[in-house]
Amino acid sequence: MSLFNFKNKGKMSVSAVSKGDVNPQKISVSKTENIKVLGSGCAKCQSLEKATIEALNDLGQEPTVEHVTDFAQIASYGVLSTPALVIDNKVVSYGKVLKKDEVIDLIKKARP
């Protein structure tokens, strides 16, 4: 069935929205969901994760950081040396442990 005589070409119909199947409001995603520390879980990786959590606290953001330890996932970012910091799916640092102030600067640059 077509609505207003338009053919359905794989697009969502108005009826799906009106039935409540889809939320028509703008979906917001927390910025902190996209912050990751890449590394094996060694002391350096844990230090970077701690500094990142402290930086997020100082910025007033929820301190949620995903720690990726799977080497296949780490390699998918093109990172060869860890620890690495990923903000919004972009590698912003790798191969060194950052201090809290350095992480704050990187978050501010990545999210103007």
Q: What positions carry a catalytic annotation?
A: 42, 45
CA–CA separation, 98 and 78 (whole Å): 19
- How many CB atoms neighbour CB 82 within 10 A? 22
Sequence-ordered list of residues with C-beta below 8 angstroms from that of 5, at least 6 positions apart, any chain = none
Angle between helices 100-110 and 43-58 (to 10 degrees): 60
